[in-house]
Amino acid sequence: MLYPIALITHLLCACAFIGVVFFEVFILEGMRHHISHSTMVEIETGLVARARQIMPYIVGTLFLSGGYLGYTQFQGMGVLWQDSFSILLSIKILLALSVLGHFVWALTNAKNGCMNSTKFQLTHISVFTHMVLIVILAKGMFYFSW
């Protein structure tokens, strides 16, 4: 009974995280050319402050639920890299760990006052690319689980 709850929690947290990153990459970056640099810096500062308040909980829950789901999947598999499902899951986990590294790096830079506009922009594009690949891998895992 815990598995379906973890799966739904994981999917909802993933939707929230991807939605925030999507907003930052496609909406916020699209605004960059239409507003002044100082206004953009204020928006980014406010966004980072709000993200520091809520995103650690979303990301933490995403990784805890994903860890549980991965543990239950690998527990029944035995040998890694033996089939398409386990290969896709392993790559997805590596990409997720890279996203976690980006997230921790960004929060650390924001806390230390080292997050500038260029770092903000590049980090979000990189995380968005990772997230698109993770979604594609997740869909592939669904296909190979049948």
At 20-47, the pLDDT tens digits run 889 888 888 888 889 898 998 888 788 8
Contact (Cβ atoms closer than 8 angstroms) between residue 117 and residue 40: yes
Residue 68 confidence (pLDDT):
93
Query: Rounded to whole angstroms, how far apart are CA atoms 96 and 92?
Result: 6
Read off the tokens for 113.
């006052």
Read off the tokens for 61.
């829950």
Return the ∠ at Cα 16 (arms to 14 and 20), rounded to 5°. 115
CA dihedral 146, 135, 52, 108 (to 10 degrees): 110
At 72-85, the pLDDT tens digits run 877 766 566 678 88
The model scores a pTM over 0.85: no
Secondary-structure breakdown of the chain: helix, strand, coil percentages, each rounded to the nearest 5? 90, 0, 10
Weakest-pLDDT range from 123-127, 130-134, 138-142: 138-142
Read off the tokens for 70.
């991965």
